[in-house]
Amino acid sequence: MAGVFALTAFVFWPAARWLATIAFAREQLTQSLIIVAAAGAWIGYEKRASLRFDPKLSTVTIGWLFASYLFAAGAVGWGVPWLILVGLVAVAGGLVDFFFGRVAFRRTLPLLAVFAVLILCVLLFPVLDWPLRQMAGVNAARFLKFLGLAPELTVIIEGNLPKLLLRVGRQLFLVATECNGFGLISSSLLLGLIRLLYRDARAPWFFVFLPLCIAVGFVFNLLRIAVIVLLAPRFPDHYHVLHEMAGFAALYAGLGAVWLLTRGRADKSAAPAHPLNPRRGQAKSADS
């Protein structure tokens, strides 16, 4: 078995290292990675009674590792590099089953799904960067105009790369990659997905709440930009601090909104029984 793990590490270590390097190179992706890691720690703590370290080779472990090698072979044979990342998810599934058993695997399966979505976010980041910056700049300008200001948007080309400038009065702001809202959007999406999966929400609710989580991230990014634009003239010597504080506040306010949005209805199982109806208060909480 040691040889199998050594081979697996040899095949998938470059992909894992690339994924970690890309995630930590961008603050937006780092935020999403922290969300997934924190969710894993929280789930591990919640399920600690059933997470017993008991290494044991099973057909499920072999199946997941075999699937991971198939994806790795497909990545090389078909020239589709992202398949190696799908194989990385399969490796994670096999390791959970090997070290903690079938029960732990079933309970952590939603987290593997979230890990897969995180990988998708890493792949989509360079594709969505410019469109998100455009959307953020245009909608921030509309919001600032609604507040009574007179913003102007300009696109310039430097070194074959477009730059989006937002002018408000005498202040000129660069709508950079850090302003595209990808961190807020992806973090909101991942948190909402985790919450829905571990509430065992019904499938239709995913189609309702996940777009709402994305919208929450987008709106709070607009609010972050607006706060920076409005307060920058008042704190000209502390722009960097203002930028970081606004980003921090928007991130956690947005995540708090997602948490409340996906909380579901209050659990009625603990409600006291009505004296004239002994069954009252025993209903299960409904998904929402």
Query: pLDDT digits over 187-230, tens only?
Result: 999 999 998 988 888 889 999 999 999 999 999 999 999 999 99
Least confident interval from 136-140, 181-185, 269-273: 269-273
Inter-residue contact 175 to 245 (CB < 8 Å): no
What b/e readout covers 102-135, taking b as 16+ CB neighbours within 10 angstroms? eebbebbebbeebbbbbbebbeebeebbeebbbb
pTM of the model: 0.82
Confidence of residue 135 (pLDDT cuts 50, 70, 90): very high
Taking 90 as the threshold, does the pLDDT of residue 265 lie above it?
no
Mean pLDDT calculated for residue range 252-269: 77
Lowest-confidence region among 123-132, 232-241, 270-279: 270-279
pLDDT exceeds cutoff 90 at 185: yes
Confidence at residue 271, expressed as pLDDT on a 0 to 100 scale = 40
